[in-house]
Amino acid sequence: MTNYASEEEVRKRDLPLPSPTSQEVSFALQVSKDIIDMWCGQVFLKTAGIEFIVDGNGGNRYVFGQRLNDVFNLYVNDSEIPSASIINFSDHNIGEIGLKDGYQFTRGSMNVKLVAEIGYAETPFAVREASAHLAALILTRQLFSGKPSVFDTKSERLLDYSKSSLVPSEINGIIESDVYLYGLLRPYRVVGVGV
């Protein structure tokens, strides 16, 4: 599944008539996934081989802002850190890595590279529910007021429209103005990286 919720989960809600096509539901689910990912600051689908390239902070801990399941490689200033010297605080959803044996995330610009597996083995129920709820709001045209509907654009460009037209303040408004969505997603929001 590339989306967080299924078409069936969306169709259980009051949708407008005539009933949306499967393609419209799929696009609404993709837009809802993009909104959730941006607002939460993380993704919920398990993905391996993701690279993070960040500025070193001079300390021995770093928050990457993503749930890190497995750390494959970590480089600081192009030198690989031995896996025995890396502490992955995998019980934290914020992607915190610690270094021991004298290693540090040396201060620098884009000098830390992490290759890891991120995401959840199974999308949490609250995230699935939020995605289905958001998709239903999109399909009933209750979002994006004052803008053309995402469905007024050519279907092959719908995803580009959603990514290029949403700004963080709009996403905050969407999530934080809906008490149900906010309650579902707040525990999964990662704020701040670096440490």
Q: Write out the chain's pLDDT in tens, 195 residues.
A: 589 999 999 999 988 788 888 998 999 999 999 899 889 888 898 888 889 999 999 999 998 888 888 899 999 999 999 999 999 886 666 788 999 999 999 999 999 999 999 888 889 999 999 999 999 988 887 555 444 444 444 334 344 444 445 666 677 788 888 999 999 999 988 776 665
What's this model's pTM, rounded to 2 decimal places?
A: 0.72
Is residue 57 domain-shared with residue 107, that is, in the same domain? yes
Looking from the CA of 111 toward its CB, the CA atoms found within 13 Å total 12
Helix or strand (DSSP H, E) at 76: strand 68-76
User: Does any domain span residue 95?
Assistant: yes
What is the Cα–Cα distance from 66 to 96, expressed in whole angstroms?
Answer: 8
Nearest to 171 by CA among 161, 187, 182, 180: 182
CB 118 within 8 A of CB 52: no
- Structural domains of the chain, count: 2
Residue ranges making up the domain that contains 169: 7-43+124-188
The residue out of 84, 118, 152 marking a domain boundary is 118
One domain for residues 92 and 136: no
Whether residue 1 lies inside any domain: the answer is: no
Residues 92 and 150 in one domain: no
Do 58 and 104 belong together in one domain? yes
Q: Does residue 85 sit in the same domain as residue 104?
A: yes
Structure confidence at residue 108 (pLDDT):
93
Q: 63 with 12, same domain?
A: no
- Coil/strand/helix, residue 98: strand
Which DSSP state fits 69? E
Spatial strand order of the sheet with 68-76 comes to 47-56, 108-118, 68-76, 79-80
